[in-house]
């Protein structure tokens, strides 16, 4: 509440300031909602209060999906914002359209020197062109981890949170034996089960190095270790170690975990903050997502969203946007963002500054940097840079629907993944045809 009041006060101050001096305004549309959206608005207020030349007009768009949809509609009408927060899967079209101002170039043109090598490579590779130049500014960054109930683990005699799926299965069995009915609250998620799983195991999601090397890519996930993993999940559900916990099934995996119903669930590190706020009645912690024995662990990649500067705006608006981006890149802003949300720092200096302060030694931040450990586990290779596929939102939807069908016993997991791949390939072919003759920059 006080936070909201503070925001209102800041907005009032900002408008009062605008009346006296002619500030250069630029619009920024963001997708985060709720508490996180309020923190984004707060970064704008902090920016507006920090100087008197520019004014960020920040507009929440009620969700990642809508932020991009509305921006496209506005763009076609020539009324788009200068800056937009876009989520990972929504950017392939934007990249090929060329209707953006690469942030590296923008910052150079505006006279800011940003040390781009300072960004964690797992983040940098995701948001940059093939020559390494940043397209967009990393902002809210996360990676998946798993959350586990320490009390239930201790009761089952598990001393260390497993780092392998074999260890995880043993943990599920031990939990069951100790009287804990549900080990794993499972909700199908392409991001965790397919994308980050494939990164951590260094197996491809699609050909052409996950789409980076051309538009004529084909999905490969029905032929990799991913199949075995999904079959295992299905088996765990059938054998009673895991339970399907989704909104449609009546309870989300996170609620199930917080209530103590299930001992483990997988999610973004951004949930770390949320779970603290929900104050579960037991000790809990996080761990890197497991890998299978006999494989070599690789880095996971960044999730979340980045900030894109769109084409077709005035010189002044670009300067204003550059000033805001430079403001966000300061260690102070990074600390403000990281300490008020569950997201992780995106720069090495930002992280080091936090470490030097002992930031991660105190609750509620303890072990939140497990995510960074996962993200920087190895240097990103050709298969662990990220995924660059068109129509990816629909590909995710195909995977989701098919996996749900398999889990409901309508088909085998292999059949489901084969169908998802075949249908996903249709999407990819369509995308390649839409942008015939173009390549990712």
Angstrom distances, CA of residue 407 to CA of 186, 232, 234, 441:
11, 11, 6, 39
H/E stretch holding 92: helix 92-97
DSSP 123: H
DSSP reduced 3-state for 308 = strand
Q: Using the minimum distance from each CB to another protein, give the nearer residue, 366 or 405.
A: 405
Q: Residue 223 and residue 323: Cα distance in Å, rounded? A: 47
- 244 in contact with another protein (CB under 8 A): yes
For the segment 311-340, give every residue that binds another protein (CB under 8 A): none
For the segment 32-91, give every residue that binds another protein (CB under 8 A): 65, 69, 72, 75-76, 90
Q: Residue from 55, 93, 169, 193 that binds another protein (CB under 8 A)?
A: 93
- 277 in contact with another protein (CB under 8 A): no
Least distance from another protein to the Cβ atom of residue 71, Å:
9
Query: Which string of x and - marks every residue 345-384 that binds another protein (by CB under 8 A)?
Result: ----------------------------------------
- Please identify which residue in the block is written with the tokens 């629907």: 401
Please list the alpha-helical segments (H only) found in 247-342.
253-258, 271-278, 315-328, 331-340
- 184 in contact with another protein (CB under 8 A): no
Q: Residue from 35, 99, 151, 335 that binds another protein (CB under 8 A)?
A: 99
Least distance from another protein to the Cβ atom of residue 193, Å:
16
What are the φ/ψ torsions at residue 270 (nearest 5 degrees)?
A: -60, -25
Least distance from another protein to the Cβ atom of residue 268, Å:
20
Q: Using the minimum distance from each CB to another protein, give the nearer residue, 246 or 295.
A: 246
Q: Using the minimum distance from each CB to another protein, give the nearer residue, 226 or 251.
A: 251
Which tokens belong to 222? 């029905």
For the segment 384-403, give every residue that binds another protein (CB under 8 A): 391, 393-394, 397, 401-402
- Please identify which residue in the block is written with the tokens 């079209």: 93
Q: Using the minimum distance from each CB to another protein, give the nearer residue, 251 or 319.
A: 251
Identify the CA nearest to 220 among candidates 9, 435, 422.
Answer: 422
CA angle, corner 284, sides to 358 and 166, nearest 5? 110
Listing DSSP states for 188-213 in one string gives --IIIIIIIHHHHHT--SBHHHHTTT
Q: Where are the beta strands (DSSP E) in 208-363?
A: 242-244, 262-268, 284-288, 303-309
Q: Residue from 404, 414, 415, 441 that binds another protein (CB under 8 A)?
A: 404
Q: Residue from 23, 104, 229, 251 that binds another protein (CB under 8 A)?
A: 251
Binding site for another protein (CB under 8 A): 65, 69, 72, 75-76, 90, 93-94, 96-99, 244, 246-251, 391, 393-394, 397, 401-402, 404-405, 408, 410, 426-427, 430, 433-436
């Amino acid at each position: 509440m006080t936070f909201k009041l503070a925001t209102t006060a800041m907005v009032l101050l900002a408008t009062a300031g605008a009346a006296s001096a002619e500030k250069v305004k630029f619009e920024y549309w963001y997708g985060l909602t709720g508490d996180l959206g309020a923190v984004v608005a707060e970064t704008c207020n902090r920016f507006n209060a920090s100087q008197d030349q520019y004014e960020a007009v920040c507009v929440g768009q009620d969700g990642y999906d809508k932020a991009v949809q509305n921006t496209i509609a506005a763009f076609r009408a020539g009324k788009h914002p200068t800056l937009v927060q876009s989520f990972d899967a929504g950017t392939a079209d934007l990249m090929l359209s060329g209707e953006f101002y690469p942030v590296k170039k923008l910052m150079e043109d505006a006279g800011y020197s940003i040390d781009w090598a300072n960004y964690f490579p797992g983040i940098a590779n995701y948001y940059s062109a093939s020559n390494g130049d940043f397209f967009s500014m990393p902002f809210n960054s996360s990676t998946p981890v798993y959350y586990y109930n320490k009390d239930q683990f201790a009761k089952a005699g598990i001393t260390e949170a497993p780092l392998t799926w074999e260890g995880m299965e043993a943990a599920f069995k031990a939990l069951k034996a100790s009287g804990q009915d549900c080990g794993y609250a499972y909700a199908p998620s392409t991001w965790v089960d397919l994308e980050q799983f494939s990164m951590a195991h260094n197996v491809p999601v699609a050909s052409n190095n996950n789409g980076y090397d051309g538009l004529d890519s084909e999905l490969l996930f029905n032929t990799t270790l991913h199949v075995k993993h999904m079959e295992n999940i299905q088996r765990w559900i059938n054998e009673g170690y895991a339970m399907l916990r989704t909104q449609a099934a009546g309870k989300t995996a996170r609620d199930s975990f917080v209530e103590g119903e299930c001992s483990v669930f997988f999610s973004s590190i951004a949930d770390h903050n949320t779970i603290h706020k929900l104050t579960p009645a037991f000790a809990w912690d996080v761990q890197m997502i497991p890998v299978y024995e006999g494989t070599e662990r690789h880095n996971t990649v960044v999730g979340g969203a980045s900030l894109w500067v769109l084409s077709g705006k005035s010189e002044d608006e670009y300067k204003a946007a550059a000033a805001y981006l430079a403001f966000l890149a300061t260690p102070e802003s990074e600390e403000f963002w990281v300490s008020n949300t569950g997201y992780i720092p995106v720069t090495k200096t930002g992280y080091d500054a936090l470490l030097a302060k002992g930031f991660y030694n105190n609750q509620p931040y303890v072990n939140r940097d497990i995510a960074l450990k996962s993200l920087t586990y190895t240097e990103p290779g050709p298969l662990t840079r990220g995924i660059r596929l068109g129509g990816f939102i629909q590909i995710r939807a195909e995977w989701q629907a098919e996996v749900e069908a398999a889990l409901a016993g309508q088909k085998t997991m292999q059949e489901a993944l084969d169908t998802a791949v075949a249908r996903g390939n249709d999407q990819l072919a369509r995308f390649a045809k839409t942008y015939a003759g173009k390549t990712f920059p």
